[in-house]
Structure 1
Amino acid sequence: MSISLSRYLKDFGEPKPSAPIIDIDDFAGDAFPETPSEPPVDVEAERRDAYAQGHAAATADLTEKYESEARVLAEIHARELEELKLRYEVEAAAVIASRVRDIAEEVAQLVSAGAAMAIAPVMTEALAAKAAESLAALLRDAILEGLAGPIVVRGPTSLFDILKAELGEHAAAVRHIEADDIDLAVEIGESVIVTRMSAWAASLKKVLE
């Protein structure tokens, strides 16, 4: 090899000095102090704590939801009760008004019937007296005019007594025959005059039924 070539290859031929070897054990001293180790994790405790937190949160959510739903249901129930109350008040008022009208009509009918029954005897007696008075006036005129023959009166004694009282001094010209009929029948010769008390009694009975 020529001198000039060997000069260029000299750097590649000579070995470089090796790097100093560092012993790792030398760093075991104070140069790198030990990092303190973290305490071990209690997995079961963490799990229990997470469960407790989740349970508390879920309980709070469910409680709030239940209370909200309960308030809504209470409001709906209160509205429904108020609507039912108003409806029943209106219906009750209508029923009461209807019953009051019915009761008023029934009372009026009962009062009318009761009044009719109460005054029936009085009216009958008054009409009987009036009939006897009218009959007495007719007989008195007939007797005074001399047109009357034998006069026979048939009927109850109560009516005949009224007739006799009305006839006064002319009562002796009249003969009475007791009868169960409520009318007075007067026979003057071939003529017969009859009061209408039986018709009145029949009409009154029909009204009171």
Structure 2
Amino acid sequence: MSRTADVVSIKSHNSKFILKIDSKDYETAIKDLKNKFSQNSLIKSITTINQIDAKTLDVVDVQKVKDFLKKEFGIDYVEKESRVKHNVNLKNEMQEINTVTQNALTDTDKIAENLIENTDYRTKIIKNNLRSGALIDYDGNILVIGDVNAGAQLIATGNIIVLGNIRGFASAGAKGDKSVMVIANKISATQLRIAELIAIPPKDDGHKKAQGVQIASVNDNKIEIQQY
């Protein structure tokens, strides 16, 4: 019996979600798609696929894959340009996030591992809390094992993952990639940026202890935070 673990993979690159299929058999590809979208909390948050790389499937089967994604998971196939304009007035993009969408709880470590494995960015790992005045500016993903306190800054061209709380400044997709995410146990950043978009997360309620994971991502050109 052949192993299907690597038949399907989803990567984020230059503001696009790319679905890669390495199988000549349509049914095998669909089976692996079902497994990935059912079991992976990060992948389940995807609402669009922008490119399908399936050189081993014919045109008819590729269209079937698109139809399957739409029917089973509500995922649209939308081709788009990978480049994002950088000369946007950031002030005009400011928004305030008033609500956090609730979802089933999941594991921060597992989400971080899946995210790092499924992007083309390299990753810088920091294994301590970041105090006020600390600045981490990195061309790739930033993974912090600890808290990011008020006054600390994270700037990444890729994703930002914090196995703790974010109370400082967090800017992901610093070169314009809107497909990246900011993930933490609790996002209470003084300011949150993804690409050229800027948002202010809900104020931290000190009486509520954060459980699970919060994921900030871009949807309809706005930053949204979901609780898992």
TM-score range for the pair, normalised by the shorter chain length: under 0.3
Higher relative contact order (CA 8 A, sep 6+): 2
TM-score, normalising length: structure 2: 0.17
TM-score, normalising length: structure 1: 0.18
- Indicate the structure with greater helix content: 1
- Indicate the structure with greater strand content: 2
Q: Which one has a bigger Cα radius of gyration?
A: 1
